[in-house]
Structure 1
């Protein structure tokens, strides 16, 4: 009898996590819908498919990586923003990368500042987890503009 009760308790304890649907990188529409909770977001199709978004006036993209040959079954995403012809505060990129844990910055080949945040979704994540990651992206964009760029 105790064994049956133990099995029932274990099943009840583990079921909420299993019942929650995981978001994977191939769920582009779900990712776009989550991004819309922070501003505008559309799925753009061309040579590559990506989400084009805007948070507090800042344009960004979500790119899909590690996809199969047809561009489906993706395993990771990358949040990406760049600022054309922006002036960067002296030594700000290095300081950003030393002090920040998530989004990383660099100057691209045209000397424009870039901010990126890579997210592994190989086995999926809870919707709330990805929404929290998007909020970290929002915060990173805000802090990057105030700490690194001279706007």
Structure 2
């Protein structure tokens, strides 16, 4: 079964009918289960689970890297006021605040940070208040996935620079 057919089936399962109809449908961005289904409609894996604190989390991936969607301000496991696309990379010698600042200086929505262990994380926050269209959600998801690929290129270039001593 082709990707387009899988997407059409996923859209019907969401009750969206056709890809064109999906662009106009409002989704409840405060409900992690709805976000998981919206991700699946865009062809992503989306395993809805909870973290150690019992908060909802969606596990997914793009460009060969894993990422999560973490939810904030929830009332139990729904009613969340925001969510964050999040990915992290295990500590490397060149992961410094300067590296994160270099990334952040040229990117608007996706931000990088170095945590206390020296790991690099990238993240993008999205408000969950009110409704959003499937098209708007798909654009945010695509933006994060594309930028996750750009992070890989950015890090590869910095590794090459570090190896060459420049």
TM tier, smaller: 0.7 to 0.9
Cα deviations across residues 105-142 of structure 1 (Å, max 9, x unaligned)? Answer: 01011100000100012012111000000000011101
| Superposed counterparts of 1:54-133, under 5 Å | 54-68=61-75, 70-88=76-94, 91-133=98-140
Cα distance, 1:52 vs structure 2: 0.4
| 1:26 lines up with 2:30 in the alignment | yes
| Mapped contact 1:80–1:116 kept (Cα < 8 A) | yes
| Mapped contact 1:53–1:60 kept (Cα < 8 A) | yes
What residue is the counterpart of 1:6 in the other structure? none
TM-score by length of 2: 0.70
Q: Secondary structure at the match of 1:148?
A: helix
| Mapped contact 1:96–1:148 kept (Cα < 8 A) | no
| Mapped contact 1:42–1:51 kept (Cα < 8 A) | yes
Q: Which stretches in structure 2 are left out of the alignment for 5+ residues? A: 1-23, 161-166
What residue is the counterpart of 1:13 in the other structure? none
Count how many residue pairs are aligned between Structure 1 and Structure 2: 131
User: In structure 2, what is the Cα distance between the partners aligned to 1:104 and 1:98?
Assistant: 9
| 1:45 lines up with 2:50 in the alignment | yes
Cα distance, 1:98 vs structure 2: 0.8
Cα distance, 1:27 vs structure 2: 2.7
Runs of 4+ in structure 1 over 4 Å off? none
CA RMSD of aligned residues (A): 2.1
Cα deviations across residues 59-96 of structure 1 (Å, max 9, x unaligned)? Answer: 1110111112x232112110111111345467431111
Q: Which stretches in structure 1 are left out of the alignment for 5+ residues? A: 1-19
